[in-house]
Amino acid sequence: MRSSSRALLSSNALTAVMLMVGLVNNIAIAAIFGLTRRVDAFYAAAMLPNLFMVLCLDYLGKNFMPALARAKKEGEWFASELTSSIVTIISIAAAGIAVLLALASPYVFGLLLPGFSSEDVELVTRYFWIMAPSFVLMAATVFNQHVCQYNERYVQITAIRSALPLANLAAIVLASPLIGEYALPVGHLLGHLVVFLLMAREAEYRHVWRITIRREWEGRIFSNSAIVAGSGLLARVRPVIMNYFASLLGSGAIAAIALASRLKEPLGRTIFTAVRMIMFSRTTRYAADGNSKQIARLYDLGLASSFLLLAPLLWWIGLYSGVIVETVFVRGEFDRQMAALVSLALLGTVPGIAFVGINAIVSNAFYAMDRIVVPAIVMPIGTVLYLAVAPYLSARYGVLGLTAGESLASAAIFFVMVVLLRRQVPTFRAGKSVGSLLRYTAIAGLCLVAAKSTADALGIAGAAGAALSLGVGGALYLVALGALRDPTLAFVGGYVRRAAPAARLQ
């Protein structure tokens, strides 16, 4: 327990540093380039690599982990053989997909971005050609990362992943004076190359180039992934739909949504990255041993802890979204009008921060238990709902409507997923999870609104008022939970105390 506590804190600390570098990247992008169609073009071009990652590689990686656990029982040599075969096959497939998409990119982007002119689409296509080789690098990295994750090398994984924003930042700072916005796709490719080299070195298995498809091993991974990816195509295209409607809202809309996403990313990933890795690997082991009681306990505590930590921070972001955006971005080419657009996009994403991260954690439980049909059926529900509301919301509320619709879809998935997890793991308390969400949201809301009212009454506005409200509201929140003798707060506090002595010894 102490080692996992230490790993969680260390991984979260590294994640926070990595995300701060990523935030600096986006500050640099905003300050150097502003919100222009050329910046929109970069985020639009990055849409396909991101979709390939979450649609193909993410699903394959999740189905690979249970197979790796079974292969380890056969022996290390067998696990290395399975991993080598999967990495070889997926790398070759990724290269083929990258070439096909590169050839078709003018037609694909012309269809997906109806608000872009022909010159804009041509620029998006050029950016994509630069980023296309990253498909192969990402394909190999995903499976190497899962090998490290199975071996509980969480800190090493997080440290290696930090190379991606560092490379992006270096490209922006050093190359933008020479090649302008082309530094953005160049940095994307450079970052993935560095991460690939480091992760390949860290993964502890002997890779050999081989193509083998055994029915119960590689065949099962691919067939399970194909089932999930079939429905996942619908589940994962919400960003594509969002960009489609955002392209019709004028210059800067796509970039505004992307920058709002980058602002929320440090919070969501700091809370969820290490938790998701640890819970997935632990659930995989418990499922292989048939220990459903430990799975239920793990998710009871994991979901409640996530709600507890996120609730006050989400209220704070919602109350001070305008101040946050202005403080972070208004400099150089980025003016207050641009900040207002990003602020609206950020406000709509706030509820989704919790639901997106928690949905990823819950869906991993079904992958670990080899119950892939559940996420295959459930995840598309959110996209259907989003597609139904996006035209109205974007027309009426612009970027705020597009991001709020995403949050609504993620909330709907959450409630369905926890009910189905309760049916799969009878001792899991779904009602308690929903109750925790409502309880922590209500208490945090009262505390943060009271803190903001106090700051306003004292005449403290802007960044100073936001900082005061966060400190006072957070303290009130902890005091309230302590007075109520909240068991999850006691668990989180104990977790931190167990990790702290071990961390000092390192």
Contact status, residue 480 vs residue 448, Cβ threshold 8 Å: no
Confidence (pLDDT) at 497 = 64
b/e per residue, 437-467, with b = 16+ CB within 10 A? bebbbebbbebbeebbebbeeeeeeeeebbb
Secondary structure class of 210 (helix, strand, coil) = coil
Residue type, 258: A
The string of pLDDT tens digits covering residues 379-388 is: 778 888 888 9
Q: Could you give the CA distance from residue 128 to residue 175 in angstroms, rounded to a whole number?
A: 18
Instruction: Tell me the C-alpha distance between 389 and 334, whole Å.
Output: 31
Contact 42, 184 (CB under 8 A): yes
Length of the chain: 506
Q: State residue 502's pLDDT score.
A: 46
pLDDT tens for residues 421-469? 888 888 888 888 888 889 999 999 999 999 999 999 999 988 899 999 9
Instruction: Tell me what the pLDDT averaged over the chain comes to.
Output: 80
Please, what is the Cα angle at 492 between 278 and 440, to 5 degrees?
Answer: 105
CA distance 453 to 19: 31
What residue type is 477 in one-letter code?
Y
The per-residue b/e assignment along 57-70, b for 16 or more CB within 10 angstroms, e otherwise, is bbbbbbbbbbbbbb
CA dihedral 411, 416, 420, 426 (to 10 degrees): 70
Are the beta carbons of 11 and 273 closer than 8 angstroms? yes
HEC string of 304-367 equals: HHHHHHHHHHHHHHHHCHHHHHHHHHCECCECHHHHHHHHHHHHHHHHHHHHHHHHHHHHHHHH
Tell me the HSE value of 223 on the side-chain side, using a 13 A CA sphere: 11
* Sign of torsion over alpha carbons 393, 395, 397, 403: positive
Degrees, nearest 5: CA angle 131-137-138? 90
Distances in whole angstroms, Cα of residue 424 to Cα of each of 224, 269, 418: 18, 27, 10
What 269-273 contacts at long range (C-beta under 8 Å, 24+ apart), as own/partner pairs, is: 269/15, 269/19, 269/357, 270/12, 270/15, 270/16, 270/19, 271/12, 271/306, 271/309, 271/310, 271/357, 272/306, 272/357, 272/358, 272/360, 272/361, 273/11, 273/12, 273/15, 273/158
Q: List 334's β-bridge partners, or say none.
A: 331
Q: pLDDT digits over 231-253, tens only?
A: 555 666 778 888 889 988 888 88
Q: What is the pLDDT of residue 277?
A: 64
Say if residues 59 and 124 touch (Cβ distance below 8 Å).
Answer: no
Name residues of the chain where pLDDT drops below 50. Answer: 1-5, 501-506
